[in-house]
Structure 1
Amino acid sequence: MQKLYLATAVSSILIGGNVSAQDAAGIDLGGFQLFPTVALDLTLDDNVIRSSDDEIRSYKRTVVPAFTLVNNYGPNQIQFGYQLTRADYYSSSADDFTDHLLSASAALELNSRNRLNVSALYDDGHDDRGTSFTIGNGDSINSVDTYKNPSVNAVYSYGAMTAKGRVDFTAGYSIVDYDIDTDRYRSRDLDRADLGSTFYYRVMPATDLTFDVTYADVSYDFALDPTQPLDSTETRALVGAQWESTAKTTGYVKVGYRNKDFAAAGRESFNGLDWRVGVTWEPLTYSTVDFTAFTNTNETNGEGDFIETNTYRASWDHQWLERTSTTVNASYSTDTYTGAGSDREDKNTTIGMFLNYEMRRWVLIQAGYTFDQRSSNRETIEFDRNLFSVSATVSL
């Protein structure tokens, strides 16, 4: 359950792939530009609740209207956004959902040495049945598992971009509040506060050494066992390097130390290696390969004290013709459930292939296939899932 850093951009609404309508036009509102978009997706899902034996096959229609308001003045930008996602399953109405996402952000360049970026999100969203707290048991609830997730984040940067050294200071706060109010479900509601800093030291014109330190405090609202709460603190320290436009690549590599320490003496703390890698390679002007990999300590979804996760992701975007491109992406992750006597280990694989056709500057058509699989030493939570989709995104 990692909703604490919502990665969904309001303007990127195309379902299934990672492309969006290019060069969208806006409406001048006197200072602000309004960028409206709408996406329509039809998907065939052959295992809606990700079950090992009781599979539900259904078509799903998803409509995603969104708008973004942007105001640029000098080097500064202010942005507001709203996105609605409505999905209807033809053969499984229990899985219908309506999500709302509100966002606001400001990128301010106070002077050549001082910059401030502030963002806020309000996610009125859901977990699909068969995911998160209902893994392997999707039919235990009769509707999707809804939640509210407000969050704020700020980054203050000191030092000119051309300086030998510069530093970022980060702060964030997030709340996760599920709507189901029984004790078992209340026990996953939490608050999280984050503090961190990154120091950049330039060693070459396009290369910086980096030094990261982060601290997080995770506090749960309710504990099933008051003597063994899940409250914890997380500390990370990493050293690494990041580079730009070097031999057709941009990327970063970081390695260091990670600690998760529980307030309850009876819960198992973690000390170990922390690492993350990200590389973008452009062998041709019309072809891009992205690769990211990282490790993390995720909050429990009902088993163990926490989940140690290693994640690997890759994607390839290739422009074959002026209006035609393809996207191929794949991800693989391992989840090791640690503490509380758990020996569970999951392996998650997702592979997606998409054909993108820009019918007009303002109309993007996409057809795709996604394979989704989980294998585990708990046979009851294993599943295979195939999704076939056709979607259209329309802008101005």
Structure 2
Amino acid sequence: MNFNSESSANYTDYGILGDIHQEFNSRNRLDVDWDYGVYHDAGSTVDGVNDKNAPEFVRKKAGFVYGFGSMEAMARVDLFGSINKQDYEKTRGIREGLNRETKEYGATFYYRLMPKTNALFEVKQRDLSYDRKFTSGNNAGKNPGYDITSYLVGLNWDATAKTTGYAKIGRRYRETDLRDTNNQKIDKEGYTGWEVGVSYMPVDHSVIQLSTVRDYGLEYDNPQDDTFTKGTTTTLAWSHDWTSRIGTNVSYSYTDEEVQSALATNNKDRKINTFGMSVDWKVRRFVTLSLGYQNTDRDESNIGTGATDDSYRRNVYTLSAELAI
């Protein structure tokens, strides 16, 4: 449950989440996770000042990772796939046809360089799409969407008992079957992307994590728009358990991205600074209460025709309860 200082924006999220880890033998293992529930876009509203309720959606999400090859072998491979669908069609004030869906599948190949260091090569495909269809023009009957293909190389390591990490860099290519206003097929675009993450445990009850990602994505803040993003997000987070029942989380993230139309036109430059902190209290083994605060400073500037910037500063206070079954 979440209760915000803006009373008209109060909402309750609920869902069923689960994961399974199965090691069949030393060479075969499987991880499966799923999430089904009703959630809200906390950073948006149904209709600006007229309806400040956070847009509600039904999430249907599932994924798997199948690993083949011993973790101690010179070579091994992980096969993975996932689907994440957000359905807004029954949400108050949100018109139908802007449901979002992300599908991903691919493989990561590992080659052991040293006992705790692996070289890796990853190939993956992601499909980003909205279910709205264009009703006129050169793209009548088609859905807005891109296919993103990534080719990444890098390393993952367990440098010490306290430090682990991964670094992947390569090319990402974006394709679509849509055509521009001149009925020309939109050019395939490629650029350098990366995924980097490092975790450090100074003590066994404290974790510091630094990560950065440069990638394409769906618009995450406003379900009224069928737009896409291209940019970089860097996050620094610290989690610490002060006792067996009390823990804290502190994080800061910075996002620098472009907001693009379905026809690959840059509409806006966006920069977001987000600071968050929370205190968690494990009331019972399966019940955790959290008191949190988040400050968001978003700065947008228009660079496209017809775009509307939405810059703001927002403070959010939350009280939440997590039940695990």
SS of alignment partner, residue 34 of structure 2: strand
CA separation in 1, counterparts of 2:198 and 2:217? 23
Equivalent in the alignment of 1:381: 310
CA separation in 1, counterparts of 2:323 and 2:60? 28
SS of alignment partner, residue 186 of structure 1: coil
CA separation in 2, counterparts of 1:118 and 1:196? 15
Equivalent in the alignment of 2:183: none
Q: Closer, same or farther in 2 for the Cα pair 1:355/1:261, shift >3 Å?
A: same
Q: Is the Cα contact below 8 Å between 2:88 and 2:94 reproduced in 1?
A: no
Which of the numbers 150, 154, 165 marks the counterpart of 2:60? 150
Q: Closer, same or farther in 2 for the Cα pair 1:148/1:286, shift >3 Å?
A: closer
Which of the numbers 234, 240, 248 marks the counterpart of 2:148? 234
SS of alignment partner, residue 222 of structure 1: coil
Instruction: Please say if 1:298 is aligned against 2:222.
Output: no
User: For residue 103 of structure 2, what is the amino acid of its counterpart?
Assistant: A
CA separation in 1, counterparts of 2:91 and 2:278? 40
Instruction: Please say if 1:276 is aligned against 2:195.
Output: yes
Between 1:184-193 and 1:331-340, the stretch displaced more is 184-193
Equivalent in the alignment of 2:85: 175
Matches within 5 A, 1:215-230: 215-225=125-135, 227-228=138-139, 229-230=143-144
* C-alpha displacement of 1:391: 6.3
* C-alpha displacement of 1:260: 1.2
* C-alpha displacement of 1:365: 6.5
CA separation in 2, counterparts of 1:219 and 1:367? 35
Instruction: Please say if 1:121 is aligned against 2:31.
Output: no
Matches within 5 A, 1:1-396: 43=4, 45=5, 58=6, 89=7, 92=8, 95-128=9-42, 130=44, 138-139=48-49, 141=51, 143-180=53-90, 185-225=95-135, 227-228=138-139, 229-246=143-160, 248-266=162-180, 267=186, 269-300=188-219, 306-318=228-240, 326-339=248-261, 340=263, 341-355=265-279, 367-377=291-301, 381-388=310-317
Equivalent in the alignment of 2:305: none
Q: Is the Cα contact below 8 Å between 2:100 and 2:131 reproduced in 1?
A: yes
* C-alpha displacement of 1:364: 6.3
Q: Percent identity?
A: 28
- How many pairs are equivalent? 306
Deviating 4+ runs (over 6 angstroms):
181-184, 357-365, 391-396
Between 1:382-391 and 1:272-281, the stretch displaced more is 382-391
CA separation in 1, counterparts of 2:60 and 2:323? 28
CA separation in 1, counterparts of 2:52 and 2:248? 37
CA distances 1:156-213 after superposition (whole Å, capped 9, x unpaired)? 2110111111101112233332125899833422444322000111111111111110
Structure 1: 5+ residue stretches without partners: 1-39, 46-57, 59-88
Q: Closer, same or farther in 2 for the Cα pair 1:154/1:356, shift >3 Å?
A: closer
CA separation in 2, counterparts of 1:138 and 1:126? 15
Structure 2: 5+ residue stretches without partners: 181-185, 303-307
Between 1:159-168 and 1:316-325, the stretch displaced more is 316-325
CA distances 1:266-321 after superposition (whole Å, capped 9, x unpaired)? 24643101101100112344543111110121124566852102101111234567
CA separation in 2, counterparts of 1:171 and 1:218? 14
Between 1:295-304 and 1:238-247, the stretch displaced more is 295-304
CA separation in 1, counterparts of 2:160 and 2:311? 42
Normalised to the residue count of structure 1, the TM-score between the two structures is 0.66
CA separation in 1, counterparts of 2:292 and 2:55? 27
User: For residue 214 of structure 2, what is the amino acid of its counterpart?
Assistant: T
User: For residue 270 of structure 1, what is the amino acid of its counterpart?
Assistant: E
Q: Closer, same or farther in 2 for the Cα pair 1:157/1:365, shift >3 Å?
A: closer
User: For residue 79 of structure 2, what is the amino acid of its counterpart?
Assistant: F
CA distances 1:245-268 after superposition (whole Å, capped 9, x unpaired)? 427311111100101111113246
Q: Closer, same or farther in 2 for the Cα pair 1:390/1:127, shift >3 Å?
A: closer
SS of alignment partner, residue 161 of structure 1: coil
> Over the residues paired in the alignment, what is the CA RMSD in angstroms?
3.4
Normalised to the residue count of structure 2, the TM-score between the two structures is 0.79
Q: Closer, same or farther in 2 for the Cα pair 1:188/1:394, shift >3 Å?
A: closer
CA separation in 2, counterparts of 1:187 and 1:393? 32
Q: Is the Cα contact below 8 Å between 1:145 and 1:179 reproduced in 2?
A: no
Q: Closer, same or farther in 2 for the Cα pair 1:356/1:224, shift >3 Å?
A: same
CA separation in 1, counterparts of 2:283 and 2:42? 32
CA separation in 2, counterparts of 1:258 and 1:119? 26
* C-alpha displacement of 1:333: 0.7
